[in-house]
Amino acid sequence: MSLRYKTVGITARSDIVDTDGVVADIASIVQSTGARVLLDGSRCKKNPKKTHIFSCHKELDLLIVVGGDGTILRAVREMGVSECMNVPILSVNTGTMGFLAELSLQESAAMIPVLLSGKGTIEQRSMLHVTARRKQKMLWSGFVLNEAVISQGAISRLIDLKTTVDGDPLATFHADGVILSTPTGSTAYSLAAGGPIVHPQLQATILTPINPHSFSQKPIVLPKNDVIEITIVTKPNKFRDIQISLTLDGQQYVTLQRDDIVRAEATNETVKFLRRKEETFFSTLRSKLKWGERPEAADRD
């Protein structure tokens, strides 16, 4: 078989049922094509025969991610921006939703050889560059594929978030928080909070307030080049233990306080996904979110 991807890495969610067995099955399928298999040694504990460990993602032509959307987000974070732009991801879903996933376990044996031969297509998803700073101190700087969330925690009190776009005042949100999302993340937490579905090939940033106090504060889709800055302006009060945090792709957390500034802008950096065909977004909406389906008629007996 003529191969487009000759060195294939495999990483997996470590707590799925029979992780070792699933990884061994995927490795066997890849090896049957003549490709070389390298494993993520920190998560694939029991190595199948004829496999080795990869030390960095630069060794790979393709990374197969076995798990759900959270596993994909973790893999993207660990790869880093430079490798995400060079090494495509092929995802095999073992989670509940698997919105970003391309294959089910049942499809793997038939589809992996086809995709490794080069018959698939590469889809690029944009990322958001996010920083958080406290005066001159940088608290966090990096990229997210889904979203950055500023929210309050332990005490059920609204917080105040002064927001500007390219230096122009937008609003001071009096809310549970704000979600800054990529188009990819528009179908995740942002959608649950009332944000719009945005096609992943659009270049934009979606700002979605979480439970705003004002009915006039609605989600807004902003152009790629807009720079969003959010300043924590919640005043100290007797509830000293109120917690405000910045959450990055649901996996990294930064504690914020008054006058801290979160800055976000869309970038040219992308994550590459190996897909079986050009357009899968609408079919994914229909199959996994049941989007556009008409509710069954009520029983009129």
Q: Residues with catalytic annotation?
A: 69
Single-letter amino acid code for the residue at 109: A
**Rounded Cα–Cα distance for residues 203 and 221 (Å):** 10
Q: How far apart are CA 35 and CA 43, in angstroms?
A: 21
What would you report as the CA-atom Rg of the chain, rounded to the nearest whole angstrom?
Answer: 21
Question: In the chain, what is the greatest distance between 2 CA atoms, to the nearest angstrom?
Answer: 69
CA torsion through residues 220, 221, 227, 228, sign: positive
Between the CA of residue 175 and those of 65, 146, 183, 234, what are the distances in Å? 36, 21, 22, 11
Spatial distance between the Cα atoms of 203 and 267, rounded to a whole number of angstroms: 9
CB 26 within 8 A of CB 92: yes
